[in-house]
Amino acid sequence: MSDPKTVPLCPLCRRPIPADAPQSLHHLIPKLKGGKGGPTVLLHHICGLMYQTHQAFQYPVISDIRW
Ligand SMILES: [Zn+2]
């Protein structure tokens, strides 16, 4: 289960997301802005919370908010 080829990478912190780690599937476009059914990205749960915070500041592209 720890094969790096099968463990997804978090696009925000660029670290692996183990299957047993808290994680969340995030809509790149907020559902309130018509993103329902749109592209999603798997993030660590904590990164998802950070992403939501950044979305509030109108960063639409995930590559803009990497740290
Ligand atoms: Zn992360």
Give the per-residue pLDDT at 3.
Answer: 60
Instruction: Convert the pLDDT of each residue in 18-37 to its tens digit.
Output: 999 999 988 777 677 776 88
Give the per-residue pLDDT at 58.
Answer: 56
Residues with CB under 5 A from ligand 1 (ion): 10, 12-13, 44, 47
Reading phi first (left if > 0) and then psi (alpha if -120 to 50, else beta), residue 36 is in beta
Give the per-residue pLDDT at 19.
Answer: 92
Give the per-residue pLDDT at 27.
Answer: 79
Token couple for 9: 């990478």
15 C-alpha to center of ligand 1: Å? 6
- Per-residue confidence band for 46, with pLDDT thresholds at 50, 70 and 90: very high
Give the per-residue pLDDT at 40.
Answer: 84
51 C-alpha to center of ligand 1: Å? 10
